[in-house]
Amino acid sequence: MASNQSTAALSMVKKLSPFVYFYEPEPSATQQTAVQPGYAPKLVLIASWMDAQDLHIAKYIAKYRILYPTSAILLVRFFFRHCLRESAVAAAVEPALVYLLSKLQSGALSATPAQPEILVHTFSNGGCTTMQTFYQLFRSRTGRAFPLHAAVYDSCPGFYSFSSLYSVFMLSLPKMFRLIAAPFISAFILALWVWHSPLNILAGEDMLSKNGRTLNDLDLVKQTNRSYIYGTADVMVEWKHVEKHAAEAAAHGYLVRREAFEHSPHASHMRTDGGRYWKIVVDTWEKAMKLKAGH
């Protein structure tokens, strides 16, 4: 049953590439919406977590179609192999950039809207890597910042820590392989630390630090407001890392909302309390509609 439901939801999403999908509602859509007509985002951009399964992504797409039936949806996926080379992430994001630029060129979206037209929903460090790459590519291609938008950060961003990275890799493996893989994963994480800490002059900035810095760069990221949703039981992204980034964002001038879910594991907050979760999302967008750039 779950597989059939997932397929039904994803059947409405058209595939641009192995990593980018989009949904555009029929102009005559008459579904009921949770907000007033014309008050919905024109585009919902979903940057999924690493190796997210179709079934799980479908639940978010289905809910957005209910909340905002007139909104287009752009999905950009992130996989483990994208961690190995920045060029792989850029190649994965490129079709999404082309899609967005086509909407700007056609006038469907505005490059400099007085109020936001885009809601960005970012999941975990994989989604953060997608979005920091998206912001960088948009700037290099157009010479200006990504259009004004509102944002929801689910279980992110996180920064380097041995325990969180170890959990990410171990939990992604079948249980039967974890004991065998443990020493190799530990060695790999240690090698990453050596490469990006003592040898940082050679290696440059690590991916997670770059994510955190870029998402708080006012020259790249123009937002009316943002909400951080995170869990105190998250073993993949430490909740203290999320709160630290939120505090830095506020210090930079971003309008920040923090929502901690007690005993909620990584990227599972919708499952923990769906009513509260989606109220935060809707509140975030409604707040954005009352704001303008620079406020």
pLDDT digits (tens, 9 = 90+) for 246-264: 999 999 999 999 999 998 9
| Residue 180 confidence (pLDDT) | 77
Evaluate whether 261 touches 232 at the Cβ level (below 8 Å).
yes
As to burial, measured by CB atoms within 10 angstroms (0-12 exposed, 13-18 middle, 19+ buried), residue 8 is exposed
Give the Cα separation of 119 and 150 in Å (integer).
5
If you compute the radius of gyration of the chain from its CA atoms, what whole number of angstroms results? Answer: 19
Task: Supply the pTM of this predicted model.
Answer: 0.86
Amino acid (one-letter) located at 36: Q
| Residue 187 confidence (pLDDT) | 73
| Residue 109 confidence (pLDDT) | 97
| Residue 295 confidence (pLDDT) | 46
Evaluate whether 39 touches 70 at the Cβ level (below 8 Å).
no
Q: Check residue 242 and give left, alpha or beta (phi > 0: left; psi -120 to 50: alpha).
A: alpha
How is 18-81 classified by DSSP, letter by letter? SSEEEE---TT-----SS-TT-S-SEEEEEEEET--HHHHHHHHHHHHHH-TT-EEEEEEE-GG
| Residue 65 confidence (pLDDT) | 94
Q: What is the pLDDT along the chain (295 residues), one digit of tens a residue?
A: 343 444 455 678 999 999 999 999 987 654 444 455 558 999 999 999 999 999 999 999 999 999 999 999 999 999 978 877 889 999 999 999 999 999 999 999 999 999 999 999 999 999 999 999 999 999 999 999 999 999 999 999 998 765 666 566 666 667 777 777 777 667 766 666 665 565 555 556 788 999 999 999 999 999 999 999 999 999 889 999 999 999 999 999 999 999 999 989 999 999 999 999 999 999 999 999 998 644 4
| Residue 2 confidence (pLDDT) | 40
| Residue 38 confidence (pLDDT) | 57
| Residue 138 confidence (pLDDT) | 98
| Residue 174 confidence (pLDDT) | 75
Tokens of 188: 């790999």
The dihedrals phi and psi of 79, each to the nearest 5 degrees, come to -125, 160
**What is the DSSP code (8-state) at residue 145?**
P
